[in-house]
Copies of this chain bind each other. A is one copy, B any other.
Amino acid sequence: MHSKEAIAERFKVLQDYICKHLELADGTGKFHEDLWTRAAGGGGRTRTIAGQQIEKGGVAFSAVHGPLPAAILKSMQLEPADFFATGVSIVLHPHSPMAPIIHMNVRYFETSDGRWWFGGGIDLTPHYVVEEDARYFHEALKSVCDDFHPDFYQKFKDQADDYFFIRHRQETRGVGGIFYDYLDEKSGLSHTQLFDFALALGQLFPHLYAEMLQRSQSRTWGESEKQWQMLRRGRYVEFNLVWDRGTKFGLETDGRTESILMSMPPGANWVYNFQPAPDSAESKTLTRLQKGIDWLNA
């Protein structure tokens, strides 16, 4: 079993790896780093990019520790203890409406009374759903999951459908992906194997997004696609601020606001009661923002 310090160090290396490969995929953008410390213990390095393909992106590492916040004690029914939490979080918003927004998070949590667990997920939010891209994305996630446990993909895919759901819109955020939390030895995997699973997802991530950017490059777009992208970014804001547990928890427990809201798009629009034209590409996308779609065979 790796020590918590070793896990944090390895996550920093993962952050470096992801940033390097995302710069290569973008072509011109370079990450800028912002180091911060947390008064109650720990800190992080938040890296942001504005490039030729990625309009606004962030790849954040943090490792924080201290007494468990009262809100966690209550929601998880834990006894007072110290905690240690480390992870890498990413959200990338592309310039092109024909490329998807992507999100990834891998995290590790441990308490001074001996509990530990892993959590994480990757999900894709196309402004326009392209079924071949969704299939490619899910196949890649399934391949990594299958290397670790035959049940992981389907279970975590279903959890992503439930988690990345904008309830007040009755829409999924995008085409889903995988989401898992509180993963410990009851999963059948050891601490080391679960850590390896997180690293395998993290190492896949930049290549997966490079492929998505590559596929989008031949797709032309104009003002009307840009307007749709701005509305879909509004939905992304709505999900993150209203429903995302990590965002809500961070903001309500005085986390570092700028790192938490690194996920916000560069811009977003709202139009009262917007309805796309029947049979338009926008309408078709809305019909695909539903739970339970088998993207491997879509």
What does the 1/0 interface line of A235-266 toward B look like (CB < 8 Å)?
A: 00110011000001001101101101110111
Within 8 A of B (CB), among A81-108: none
Which residues does chain B contribute within 8 Å of A34, judged by CB atoms?
Answer: 272-273
Q: Look across to chain B and name the residue whose beta carbon is closest to the beta carbon of A238.
A: B241
Cβ–Cβ contact B168 & A267, under 8 A = no
Interface residues of A in 159-196 (CB under 8 A from B): 167-169
List which A261-290 residues lie within 8 A (CB) of chain B: 261-262, 264-273
Contact A251 B168 (CB under 8 A): yes
Residues of B within 8 A of A241 (CB): 237-238, 241-242
Instruction: Judge whether A272 and B267 touch: CB under 8 Å.
Output: no
Cα A261 to Cα B274 in complex, Å, equals 12
CA separation between A16 and B214, bound complex, in Å? 53
Q: Is A234 interfacial (CB 8 A cutoff)?
A: yes
* Residue in chain B with minimal CB distance to A240: B241
Given A58-B272, A267-B269, A273-B34; A168-B234 close (CB under 8 Å): no
How many identical chains are in the complex?
2
Binary interface encoding of chain A residues 220-242 relative to chain B, with 1 for a CB under 8 A from any of its CBs, else 0: 00000000001000100110011
Closest to A230 in B: B267
Give the docked Cα–Cα distance between A56 and B264 (Å): 22
A125 within 8 A of B: no
Q: A241-B241, A270-B264, A272-B48 are in contact. Are A257 and B169 (CB under 8 A)?
A: yes
CA distance A238 to B271 in the complex (A): 17
Chain A 26-59 interface residues, beta-carbon cutoff 8 Å to B: 34, 46, 48, 56, 58
Contact of A266 among B169, B254, B269 (CB under 8 A): B269
User: Which chain B positions have C-beta within 8 A of A264?
Assistant: 234, 270
In the assembled complex, the CB of A75 is this many whole angstroms from the nearest CB of chain B, namely: 16
B58 pairs with A257, CB closer than 8 A: no
Tell me the A residues contacting B by CB distance below 8 Å: 34, 46, 48, 56, 58, 167-169, 230, 234, 237-238, 241-242, 248, 251-252, 254-255, 257-258, 260-262, 264-273
If A34-B272, A242-B248, A261-B270 are given as contacts, then 16 extra A-B residue pairs at C-beta distance below 8 Å, sorted by A number, are: A56-B270, A168-B252, A168-B255, A168-B257, A230-B267, A234-B264, A237-B237, A237-B241, A238-B261, A242-B242, A242-B251, A262-B272, A264-B270, A266-B269, A267-B270, A268-B269
By Cβ-Cβ distance, the 8 closest A-B pairs, closest first, are: A241-B241, A264-B270, A168-B251, A258-B273, A267-B269, A48-B272, A168-B257, A241-B242
